[in-house]
Amino acid sequence: MSAIHLEHISKKFGRKTALGDITVDIPETTFTTVLGPPGAGKTTLLRILAGLERADSGKIIMNGVDVSQRLPGERGVSFVAQDFALYPHMNVFRNISYPLRLRKTSRDEIKRKVTETARFLKIDKLLDREPTQLSGGEQQRVAIARGLVKDARLYLFDEPLTNLDYKIREDMRAEFRKIQHETGQTIVYATSDSIEAISMSEYLIVMNEGQIVEVGKTTEVYAAPKSLFTATYFGYPPMNTLPAKLGESEGGFTIDAGIFSVNIKGEKPRFKCSKPVAAVRPERLVLADRKPDTDAAFSAKIVLSDVIGSDTIVYLKPENHPETVKAFVPSTYRALPGHRVWVGLASRDLFIYDADSGLLAWKGEDVGSGQA
């Protein structure tokens, strides 16, 4: 059953459209991520769900009841924003307990719940501190605790980790996942970070320019994005895309992406594909010193090998080609700019999108490995 049902929600700020006619279901007891670049409308969507913003049109149905006209306090919704505003005149305990005090909860109950939530977020030793005495990470934990302490039907988080150090993010990602697993709450989490989306959520809503681009189980969306936008946005790093030509061949068809071409057995993409784009995940590219024995291979110069902690994103410039190709290596891969390498890929890892409609036309895994 769907906990929250959004029908034709739209919102304009002046002339700028923040949300254009959005209809979507958010599943119950699930961690849902709303993923999109800044300005996609994620924050507006969450604020409308929380009741902090009123939609120009449309309905929000929660558990069968239309709550569109209700005030935030009447919706049973909790909201934690990116700029976590801790009340400066209250200490940590009073900050966390504020939502409970508003509901006239008994003193014992408040104490029990605050302590429990604080212990869970590892801030139980900070309860007597003033907000100004806390580090950024601790402040954010307090804000999250304040969001979690009350019983809500829906918990909303708007990019809560954006302003934090990456080391804290690393811990908090795991914590968020744990929170949902242990409490089974309905959580909607907005982010522009693909890693957060993939590591925490079961369900994914991809947004761009005020529209919903794609909806589905996170793992399924990752495995085969149905839209070109998702392909070029969702991933760490997102997919490589290259303009391609599709041609006929005996018992199949060819994909010519300029720097490589492959022969595929089977039917050519059925629907009209006027501007085909070939796409492949960076982690599916194989780097080698000698030409690898893969379905397709090309040679390229290293532009930069960007060591991200224990992984490396290698930026490559194929010969006689303007585009940069990214490869993801799950270890520290040091190579000097200008170094020449071979890049190999398998045709089952290829996707074809239509640039005009922005939709997936064909994916290699349907066919299996073809011939080089």
The window from 75-83, 112-120, 253-261, 341-349 that contacts another protein (CB under 8 A) reads 75-83
Q: Smaller CB distance to another protein: residue 174 or 288?
A: 174
Which residues inside 207-226 make contact with another protein, applying CB under 8 A?
218-219, 222
The window from 13-21, 209-217, 251-259, 334-342 that contacts another protein (CB under 8 A) reads 334-342
Q: Smaller CB distance to another protein: residue 51 or 370?
A: 51
Q: Which helix (H) or strand (E) holds 143?
A: helix 136-148
CA-CA distance, 46 to 54, in Å (whole number)? 11
User: Measured between alpha carbons, how far is residue 170 from residues 164, 201, 330, 348 in Å?
Assistant: 10, 15, 17, 32
Q: 335-341: long-range contacts (C-beta < 8 A, 24 or more apart)?
A: 335/302, 335/305, 336/302, 337/301, 337/302, 337/303, 337/304, 338/301, 338/302, 339/301, 339/302, 340/299, 340/300, 340/301, 340/302, 341/287, 341/288, 341/289, 341/299, 341/300, 341/302, 341/316
Instruction: Tell me the closest approach of the beta carbon of residue 271 to another protein, in angstroms.
Output: 28
Q: Smaller CB distance to another protein: residue 127 or 221?
A: 221
Which residues inside 29-58 make contact with another protein, applying CB under 8 A?
47, 50-52
Instruction: Tell me the closest approach of the beta carbon of residue 128 to another protein, in angstroms.
Output: 18
Q: Smaller CB distance to another protein: residue 222 or 342?
A: 222
The window from 110-118, 257-265, 288-296, 297-305 that contacts another protein (CB under 8 A) reads 297-305
- The helix/strand/coil state of 131 is helix
Under rule CB under 8 A, how many of the chain's residues touch another protein? 67
Among 184, 247, 266, 337, binds another protein (CB under 8 A): 337
Instruction: Tell me the closest approach of the beta carbon of residue 248 to another protein, in angstroms.
Output: 34
What single letter denotes the amino acid at residue 306? D
Q: Does 71 bind another protein (CB under 8 A)?
A: yes
Q: Does 28 bind another protein (CB under 8 A)?
A: no
Query: Do residues 277 and 242 lie in contact, with contact meaning Cβ atoms separated by under 8 Å?
Result: yes
CA-CA distance, 97 to 334, in Å (whole number)? 50
Instruction: Tell me the closest approach of the beta carbon of residue 305 to another protein, in angstroms.
Output: 7
Instruction: Tell me the closest approach of the beta carbon of residue 48 to another protein, in angstroms.
Output: 13
Q: Smaller CB distance to another protein: residue 23 or 219?
A: 219
List the structure tokens of 290.
């000698």
CA-CA distance, 300 to 327, in Å (whole number)? 11
What is the DSSP secondary structure assignment for residue 70, as one 8-state letter?
Answer: -
Q: Does 305 bind another protein (CB under 8 A)?
A: yes
User: Measured between alpha carbons, how far is residue 208 from residues 41, 214, 226, 309 in Å?
Assistant: 7, 10, 14, 29
Query: Do residues 262 and 350 lie in contact, with contact meaning Cβ atoms separated by under 8 Å?
Result: yes
User: Measured between alpha carbons, how far is residue 372 from residues 145, 264, 265 in Å?
Assistant: 55, 8, 11
Among 23, 122, 308, 319, binds another protein (CB under 8 A): 308
User: Measured between alpha carbons, how far is residue 265 from residues 81, 252, 316, 357 in Å?
Assistant: 51, 4, 29, 25
| Per-residue contact flags (x/-) with another protein for residues 102 to 121, judged by CB under 8 A | xx------------------
The window from 4-12, 267-275, 280-288, 350-358 that contacts another protein (CB under 8 A) reads 280-288
CA-CA distance, 84 to 168, in Å (whole number)? 15
| Per-residue contact flags (x/-) with another protein for residues 163 to 182, judged by CB under 8 A | --xxx--x--xx--xx--x-
Give the binding site for another protein (CB under 8 A): 47, 50-52, 71-73, 77-81, 83-85, 87-89, 98-99, 102-103, 143, 146-147, 150, 156, 165-167, 170, 173-174, 177-178, 181, 194-195, 198-200, 218-219, 222, 235-236, 281-283, 303-311, 313, 315, 328, 330-332, 334, 336-337
